Structure 1
Amino acid sequence: MTSSENTFEDNLPKWMWLWLPIILALLLLLTGLLLPGQVYNDWIGNERTGILETSHAIIPAISFLLAVRIMLHTNVPTFSFLWFWILLAALGSFYMSGEEASWGQHWFQWDTSAEWSKVNDQGETNFHNTSSWLDQKPRTILEIGIIIGGIVLPLIFRRQPNLRNHPKAIIVPTLVLLPTAVIAETTRMTERLLAALDVPFRFFQRASEVQELFFALFVLFYLIIILKRVRKLN
């Protein structure tokens, strides 16, 4: 399986990879700073039906469908390296989408059984509130992956273009994902810095949830890029 010379040119529209992340970050920054806390919590930050939480379920669902589309593409041999890589993205997206909506409980409002409430610290029908191994650790792995794959490797590949000839380079994006990756890290980094300095002010309300939005967008944009690349393989 070889690639055309344009395989690794990520021609995403500029409004998507640059302006959309910036505008979303500015909107969340301004609404968090200007809206009354209760209004923000009711409409944007609500842990069950807020805009942020809902986006955490919908965007990964779209990513899951994209990942499946890539895996089924005729240019992606079953059980190849790329197939398994995208399978990992599909499983992660499916898990995030389901977990963020508590597998539908946030929308359909069913009750949690007494037995499950004993092991789930928020009394919801999900897994990530039962153990850090199903919540914080997968999130940390994703965050590290975004830093490496969205910032470090694209910068290295830009300085050393010959690396693009590596057989596995198809999974490394160009710098088009840099804005989303940087915003994802900045939202939480500012919160950690202010907390370390014992400053009560926060730029973003519920910064971890804002960060999750950009994590989800990063994966979505990444899979769009991979699909475009796969279509150019011959």
Structure 2
Amino acid sequence: MPAIQEWKTRAAEHLRRDSEDWKISPRHERLLILIPFIIAVVAAAALPFKDFYLWLVNEDSLIEWLQFACLLAASIFLPLITVYLLRAKRWGIAVLYAVVALGVWFLTGEEISWGQRVFGWATPESLNEVNRQGETTVHNIRGVQELVPAAMLLASLYGACAPLVWAGMGKRWKNLKSRRVLVPPLCLVPAFGLAAGYRLFRLLIWPEPTFVISEYAEAMELCLYFGLAMFCWFNLRLLREPEPGLRQQPRGLHRRTA
């Protein structure tokens, strides 16, 4: 028991310091930790109520539009972050963010079938033959579809594990300039962790694509996209702040005296 209590105390201290470093208030920190669990519990609790569950997870329904909103936010934040990184001459990280921005833009378009279900155009015949859902999307094409779970697993595992690994590193590594743009805050670990846990469960325990289990992926993808959007927002917020010592001086102080 003392060992468990000590572990809890140390974990809480790591979380407090990390949130202070990201300038996240305690209230928002708790909310960011709770939201993924709320999503997971609500979706699971809806299982006995078929119509309500289908309303939550179906195409063009609540969870999918929330996914789109999170991806759209991230697709706006990412280019802005890239611009700030370019201005700071952090070329390598800027290129990485530009690539991620392109990927998220593509994912955002895929999430709403590039507007097909909004505007109602027909799927080209050649695409309809190879697309599992008969839509204007790439991720549902046979062959590509099998790669999506692996990509989701890698992204969610990174988002869940990187903050925990970083928290256990020594002080010498914690002051690296690129830490924030590469490692999410600790309070977002549940968002990425639940998505990773679901993908591992499907991979190792329940690979059979039954309807209920497969559709529950929509709730877990929402957790992942929520974590991504918040990570991008916190980075953008901090990058917009002037660096210490570079704040604009009052007019006249820089002028030469006669």
Q: Name which of 136, 147, 153 aligns with 2:157.
A: 147
Aligned partner letter, 2:67: H
**What is the TM-score normalised by the length of structure 1?**
0.79
Which of 10, 14, 20 lines up with 2:29 in the alignment? 14
Please tell me whether the aligned partners of residues 76 and 230 of structure 1 are also in contact (alpha carbons under 8 angstroms). Answer: no
Q: Is the 8 A contact 2:78 2:98 kept in 1?
A: yes
Cα distance in 2 for partners of 1:205, 1:126 equals 19
Shift of residue 103 of structure 1? Answer: 0.4
Q: Does the CA contact (< 8 Å) of 1:68 and 1:90 recur in 2?
A: yes
Quick one: which of 31, 37, 57 aligns to 1:45?
A: 57
Contact 2:36 2:223 in 1 (8 A): yes
User: Highest Rg: 1 or 2?
Assistant: 2
TM value normalised by structure 2: 0.73
Task: Kindly provide the CA deviation profile for residues 98-121 of structure 1, in whole angstroms up to 9, marking residues without a partner as x.
Answer: 101100112222211223212323
Question: For the Cα contact (< 8 Å) 1:56–1:212, is it kept in 2?
Answer: yes
Structure 1 counterpart of 2:8: none
% identical equivalent positions: 21
In structure 2, the residue matched to 1:227 is 236
Report the Cα offset of residue 210 of structure 1. 2.0
Contact 1:75 1:231 in 2 (8 A): no
Q: Distance in 1 between matches of 2:139 and 2:103?
A: 13
Q: Pick from 151, 160, 163: which aligns with 2:173?
A: 163
Match of 1:137 among 116, 125, 147: 147
- CA gap of 1:39–1:158, structure 2 versus 1, over 3 A, is closer
Match of 2:12 in 1: none
Which structure is higher in RCO with an 8 Å CA cutoff and minimum separation 6?
1
Query: Counterpart in 2 of 1:181?
Result: 192
Q: 1:59 deviation in Å?
A: 1.4
Aligned-partner Cα distance in 2 for 1:126–1:27: 28
Report if aligned partners of 1:188, 1:207 keep a CA contact under 8 Å in 2. Answer: no
1: CA distance between counterparts of 2:86 and 2:242? Answer: 6
Amino acid at match of 1:123: G
Mapping 1:59-78, distance limit 5 Å: 59-73=70-84, 76-77=87-88
Q: Mind listing any 5+ residue stretches in structure 2 that lack a counterpart?
A: 1-17, 244-258
Q: What is the root-mean-square deviation of aligned Cα atoms in Å?
A: 3.0
